[in-house]
Amino acid sequence: MKAIKATGLEYIYPDGTEALSGVDFEANAGERIAVLGPNGSGKTTLFYHFNGLIRPARGEIQVFGEKIQKENMDRIRERVGLVFQNPDTQLFAPTVFEDIAFGPKNLGLDPEVVRDRVSQVLRRFDIENLARKSPANLSLGQKKRVAIAGVVAMEPDVIVLDEPASGLDASGITGTMEMLDELNNEGKTIILSTHDTDLAASWAERVYILNKGRVFRSGAPRHIFADENLIAEAGLKHPVIVQTFREFRARGISKGEVPLSVLDFMESVDVKVMNIRCAIAGCDISAGDEVGLEMKDGMLYAALDLRSVTGKAVFSGKKGEDIAVKDVAGDLQQLAGSITIVRVPGIIEGGSRAVEMDRVRDILGGSKGKKIGAMGTSAKVLMNRTGMKCDFEFDVIQSGMLAVLRGFDVVIFASGKMAERAVEKVKEKKIDFSYVSL
Ligand SMILES: Nc1ncnc2c1ncn2[C@@H]1O[C@H](COP(=O)(O)OP(=O)(O)O)[C@@H](O)[C@H]1O
Ligand SMILES: [Mg+2]
């Protein structure tokens, strides 16, 4: 089922600017789509069409198979929610509470239902403390959060966000992307615009590149970003990870497909062609010694007793010094730690309040010395309740897997469906894991 299908869209602003010149666009239900393009390429104009805010000069838009027309505009706006780039365009009520209540009220819902919905999104977005404040007095990050909350409170099937990451700091961006992932896991179609190719590469299932009011190219990130000329011609910057990979590949160090994450990138590196640097454990080593490799505190160490992974010392060194090892035999992944994924009920399943704290304390008690991460709102709230500090704040599942590959044992608390997604990712990378559902 297509959530959105636009065909041959053309749009000319009253001053004669031709902003869209024949755009075809499709979003499948439940998909995560990033629309990339330099300033002025038509991203905002295209998004305004998706909920009928502006009407095309030519072409048409269908929402779940229904053509947008004057007559069905109300129904369309229930199904497609639009978050503006600048939250000041959207926020106007005297308090955050009233602002978020405005949309649901307009849908004609009972006052009680409206109140419930508002409380639910305030909790989901962790902004209960802002409810009585005036939107005008919030920081940009808070305003953007409230603006998204206002749209989510209307429970649309499709959420369209114009540059949700722009102007936010790193933790604001991570928080926003995590919220969007959570909504996507609950079945919402998410379409966002950005000029951040790193963000698009790591997040989107499909990418559209707009240029001068046309679709320059669309496809899976792996294909789009593999094409060196395409990205440059589109006026975009290569994702850092892709650029690094290209430099490595040109020097014979990396191989395979273009990576879209640090984890993928690690896999592309051919350790056989490099000398591996490691520290020497409690002994002295001479050049040419056969050594065994072990992983401790996230670092590789060489020792004289042989282990499952072995190599040959390139030069001599004393205890604690760095040396290089060549001719590595055995798979470094054997030295990896393991990961435990703990599923915390998602917001719509009652969140952290549905959890018995004793079980959490048991898990944490058995996790001494392990690295801990939390992804999604209910998992984060749960960790706050335990008073534990998380080791991973950003990119939790990837950071957790990278830590495992460095020999750490890791516990990740994940909200709702995010837990299942985490399990899939861990399986994909053949990492040793266990799964607990709270
Ligand atoms: N209100 C407007 N009046 C006239 N031209 C506009 C207006 N809004 C946008 N444009 C023009 O339309 C083109 C597409 O703009 P826009 O959709 O905002 O692109 P993007 O969001 O990719 O930066 C640009 O050339 C821009 O200058
Ligand atoms: Mg724009």
Spacing, Cα 243 to ligand 2 middle (Å): 26
Question: And the tokens for 114?
Answer: 């409206």
- Ligand number with the minimum distance to the CA of 40: 1
- What residue segments make up the domains of the chain, in order of their start? 2-233, 271-334, 336-437
Element (H, E) at 398: helix 396-405
pTM of the model: 0.88
pLDDT given for residue 60 in this prediction: 96
Task: Report the candidate in 347, 306, 341, 350 with the shortest Cα–Cα distance to residue 325.
Answer: 306
Residue nearest to atom 4 of ligand 1 (CA): 13
Residue 392 DSSP label: B
pLDDT tens digits for range 352-384: 888 888 888 888 887 778 999 999 888 988 998
pLDDT tens digits for range 259-303: 999 989 988 988 776 788 889 998 899 999 999 999 888 889 999
Count other Cβ atoms within 10 Å, centred on residue 397: 25
**CA of 15, closest atom in ligand 1:** 4
Residue nearest to atom 26 of ligand 1 (CA): 40
Spacing, Cα 23 to ligand 1 middle (Å): 15
Spacing, Cα 50 to ligand 2 middle (Å): 14
Residues 6+ apart with CB under 8 A from 185: 346, 416, 417, 418, 421
Task: Report the candidate in 129, 166, 221 with the shortest Cα–Cα distance to residue 39.
Answer: 166
Element (H, E) at 278: strand 276-280
User: Do β-strands 32-36 and 206-211 pair in parallel, antiparallel, or remain unpaired?
Assistant: parallel
- Ligand number with the minimum distance to the CA of 21: 1
> How far, in Å, are 18, 212, 320, 391 from residue 394 at the CA level?
40, 34, 32, 9
**Identity of residue 314:** V
One of 3.60.20.10, 3.40.50.2300, 3.40.50.300, 3.90.226.10 is the CATH number of 2-233, namely: 3.40.50.300
Name every protein residue with a CB atom under 6 angstroms from any ligand 1 atom.
Answer: 13, 15, 17, 19, 37, 39-45
From CA 386, how far away is CA 383, in angstroms rounded?
5
Mutate to test the pocket of ligand 1, among 11, 13, 82, 192 (most ligand atoms within 8 A of CB): 13
Please list the alpha-helical segments (H only) found in 51-169: 73-79, 96-106, 111-124, 140-152
Question: And the tokens for 102?
Answer: 């405005």
pLDDT given for residue 273 in this prediction: 67
Spacing, Cα 42 to ligand 1 middle (Å): 6
Distance of CA 343 to the CA centre of its chain: 18
Per-residue pLDDT of the chain (438 residues; tens, 9 = 90+): 899 999 999 999 999 999 999 999 999 999 999 999 999 999 999 999 999 999 999 999 999 999 999 999 999 999 999 999 999 999 999 999 999 999 999 989 999 999 999 999 998 888 999 999 999 999 999 999 999 999 999 999 999 999 999 999 888 898 899 899 999 998 999 999 998 999 999 999 999 999 999 999 999 999 999 998 898 888 899 999 999 999 999 888 899 999 999 989 988 988 776 788 889 998 899 999 999 999 888 889 999 988 889 999 998 999 889 999 998 888 888 888 999 999 999 877 888 888 888 888 888 887 778 999 999 888 988 998 888 889 987 789 999 999 998 899 999 999 988 999 999 999 998 898 999 999
Question: And the tokens for 264?
Answer: 């993928």
Please list the alpha-helical segments (H only) found in 258-352: 262-268
Let me know: does 209 contact 37? Beta carbons within 8 Å: yes
pLDDT given for residue 352 in this prediction: 81
From CA 87, how far away is CA 98, in angstroms rounded?
15
Distance of CA 214 to the CA centre of its chain: 27
pLDDT given for residue 147 in this prediction: 96
Question: And the tokens for 3?
Answer: 């959530």
Mutate to test the pocket of ligand 1, among 17, 23, 82, 160 (most ligand atoms within 8 A of CB): 17
Spacing, Cα 222 to ligand 2 middle (Å): 25
Spacing, Cα 70 to ligand 1 middle (Å): 24
Fold of 336-437: Cobalt-precorrin-4 Transmethylase; domain 1 (3.40.1010)
| φ, ψ of residue 80 in degrees (nearest 5) | -120, 115
